[in-house]
A = this chain, B = another copy of it.
Amino acid sequence: MIVVMKPGATQAQIDHVVDRIEQLGLRSHVIVGTNLTVIAAIGEKRDGTRQALETADGVDKVVPILAPYKIASLEVKKEPTVVCVRDLVVGGGRIGVIAGPCSVESREQILETAHAVKAAGATALRGGAFKPRTSPYSFQGLKNKGLELLAEAREATGLAIVTEVMAPEHVPLLSEFTDVLQIGARNMQNYPLLEAAGESGLPVLVKRGPAATVEEWLLAAEYVLNTGNKKVILCERGIRTFEDHVRFTLPLATVPWLHQHTHLPVIVDPSHGTGKAALVTAMARAAVAAGADGLMVEVHPNPEKALSDGYQTLTPDQFAQLMQECRRVAQAVDRIM
């Protein structure tokens, strides 16, 4: 890290910072500039405690140099991670498509959707059984019954199942029914949950929190990786901004940025990422063109009657059209979809 002293900092203040750096087990290197002095601390650790130096007298700011994540970084592992489960392949030039309703609502609904998305080319089925809902008065999911229906849909179609886990104590139950554990955006920094999901050994899909920086997102992935579980998929699903014509702003530049900084595969959710059905297909095409390793799309036989997220959900026909358009784009960027 680099400690920037205030203009006019005294020699005693500089000496104090040097002492503190050395107490932290680092080497210090003082650079006297024309306007002010900066002190480099060499050997920076990743544990975050050194930002306390910012409170030392005469210090203006502390600039960290080292990225705070490690196992997730491209420096540690150069080859892209590919996550495979059943027919779902995410990464390594293959674009995996996860599609399905926001919530599992009924046997008929989930089976109809599963068959439709499979026919259109999806290799995994999404569907919430335990639903985190902003309001306590909204539909909270079919819970155990929902899991059974997902398993039935898997049986019927061979699709891999992706479903969200909301609490550490649900991990064992969900692990019996799902192929991928999804960490929702609201829980991206729920650390006991990340650890419990990691310890399951199942692939873990980590959605970006709507106010999370990419560093915080990679650190959430690092919690999973740190359990020894290497099968992590990152999912960009939009951030909170001042834009009010969309529910969230979908910042696709995270896709190439992540490919330049981590070996983990990154998929895009254009449904949550826009919150408007009319924008989903164009953004799915754009995600593929930006290099995404996969897509996660909400599909329901009758979005108007969906118990959740109807406004951002495609019909099976619209989804089939999306797949057709995305496949052409995938080919244009030399990806297999």
CB atoms of A66 and B219 under 8 A apart: no
CB proximity of A76 to chain B, nearest CB, Å: 10
Tell me if A34 is interfacial: C-beta within 8 Å of chain B.
yes
Out of B43, B63, B136, B256, name the residue touching A283 (CB < 8 Å): B256
- Which residues of B lie under 8 Å from residue A243 when comparing CB positions? 213-214, 239, 251
Is the beta-carbon distance between A48 and B279 smaller than 8 angstroms? no
Given A246-B257, A282-B253, verify A167-B139 contact (CB < 8 Å). no
Given A137-B47, A213-B243, is A7 in contact with B75 using a C-beta cutoff of 8 Å? Answer: yes
In this complex, the member of A209, A245, A250 whose beta carbon has the largest number of chain B beta carbons within 10 angstroms is A245
**A282-B256 contact, Cβ under 8 Å, with A47-B135, A168-B169, A328-B333:** yes
A210 — nearest CB in chain B belongs to which residue? B211
Number of copies of this chain that the complex holds: 4
Contact of A40 among B38, B209, B331 (CB under 8 A): B38
Within A133-170, the residues touching B (CB, 8 Å) are 133-139, 166-169
Chain B CB within 8 A of A49 CB:
yes
Residue A35 at the B interface, CB < 8 A? yes
Cα–Cα distance between A288 and B46 once the two chains are bound (Å): 37
Flag if B244 contacts A137 (CB, 8 Å).
Answer: no
Q: Which of B34, B249, B253 contacts A246 (CB 8 A)?
A: B253
Contact between chains at A306 and B219 (CB < 8 Å): no
Provide the residues of chain B in CB contact with A123, threshold 8 Å: none
A163–B138 Cα gap in the complex (Å)? 30
Question: Is residue A310 contacting chain B, with contact meaning CB distance below 8 A?
Answer: yes
Query: Once the chains are docked, how many angstroms separate the CA of A274 from the CA of B256?
Result: 11
Given A134-B189, A239-B249, A274-B253, decide whether A52 and B305 contact each other with a Cβ distance below 8 A: yes
* Cβ contacts under 8 Å, A202 to chain B: none
Q: Which of B47, B75, B134, B329 makes the CB contact (< 8 A) with A289? A: B329
Q: Does A20 contact B (CB under 8 A)?
A: yes
- A29 within 8 Å of B (CB atoms): yes
- Which chain B positions have C-beta within 8 A of A136? 191, 219, 222-223, 226
Q: Which residue on chain B has the smallest CB distance to residue A252?
A: B286
Closest CB in chain B relative to A274 CB, distance in Å = 5
Residue of B nearest to A256 (CB): B282
State whether A56 touches B304 (Cβ < 8 A). Answer: yes
Give chain B residues whose Cβ lies under 8 Å from the Cβ of A239.
211, 241-243, 249
Chain B residues in 8 Å Cβ range of A254: 245
Q: A65-B33, A289-B288, A332-B332 are in contact. Are A304 and B40 (CB under 8 A)?
A: no
Q: Let me know if B49 and A307 touch, CB within 8 A.
A: yes
Q: Are A311 and B7 in contact (CB under 8 A)?
A: no
Whether B138 lies near A48 (C-beta < 8 A) is: yes
